Amino acid sequence: MSYGITTSFKFRTTTATEENVFFYYPYVWTRGQTTPEWNACQQYCAGQRFPAETNARVLVTKYLEDVSVFLFEGAYHGSKADFELSIQPFLDSLALVRGLGTE
């Protein structure tokens, strides 16, 4: 077992933005929809379009035997208009997968 003792911290802060957008996108998918959903999330989050101003969390969990819940939530530190431009490609890719009850 090992441990460490912290004796000092250094913080680098930035000026807070005047606008923040908090977002929450819940989706429910069948087992067959989960893989394309996760692929769309990875392509967006690891791609060129994911803005540095975004703090996002992803949760994927089993809901029923063949149903999963996918939550994409977080905060965008900027204007609502800029957020909508940055998130729309991701929402479009998820719309191609479609959610439970839209088939």
pLDDT tens-digit map of 40-70: 888 888 887 788 899 999 898 888 888 888 8
21-97 adopts what CATH topology? Answer: Alpha-Beta Plaits (3.30.70)
pLDDT above 90 covers a percentage of the chain that reads 26
Distance CA 70, CA 87 (A): 16
14 contact partners, CB below 8 Å, separation of at least 6: none
> If residue 40 lies in a helix (H) or strand (E), which one and from where to where?
helix 31-45
Per the structure block, which two tokens stand in for 59? 């949760």
Task: Please measure the distance between the N-terminal and C-terminal CA atoms of the chain and give it in whole angstroms.
Answer: 53
Cα–Cα distances in Å, from 94 out to 15, 16, 36, 62, 75? 33, 31, 8, 18, 19
| Per-chain mean pLDDT for the chain | 85
What predicted TM-score, i.e. pTM, was given to this entire model?
0.73
Q: What is the pLDDT of residue 99?
A: 52
Residue 101 pLDDT grade (very low, low, confident, very high; cuts 50, 70, 90): very low
